[in-house]
Structure 1
Amino acid sequence: MKRSIGMTSLVVAGVGASAMWLSNKPNRIKAENFLRTWKRKIMPTVFEKSEQLPIHKGGHPHPHDIEDNKMVDEGAMYSVKFYNEKIQ
């Protein structure tokens, strides 16, 4: 029981100190920049993934490409089937 009270007071003190530190505008800017760079390191943005572009076939299957047309057709039928099941 005593541990949880000590842990709670520690958490409250940490939140209070963080709020006090973030009340200063330069510190908020530092925190935003830190979080932004950390996020870029962890999850690359869409712009960084665009090195794989251009996609040559994206959205325009060749009429004689049977496998690609079949895949597009199956994808369209899945959404229609899902919609019909929801309505009925």
Structure 2
Amino acid sequence: MKRVLSMGSLLAVGVGASAVWLSNKPNRIKAETFLRDLKRKVMPTVYEKSEKLPIEKGGHPHPHDVEDNKMVDEGAMYSVKFYNEKMQ
């Protein structure tokens, strides 16, 4: 008869093994160094991807860009109209 290990038991074994391994100070230092280096390697790539978003004109529209100004104006009027209808 086959015995099948459940995910819970495998997780418990993993947590126990890591607790035993981290009980020694040199191993804790190794783990901290590894995680710190991993964070330094991963985080710049996350920031690079977020800076490459296609934001060309965020914040303040150009005064001579009629299409964009019209869209901003219509958006403002929608919220004012909605508020006025709610209050009446």
Q: Normalization by structure 1: what TM-score?
A: 0.50
Q: Normalization by structure 2: what TM-score?
A: 0.50
Greater helix proportion: 1
Between structure 1 and structure 2, the one with the greater Rg is: 2
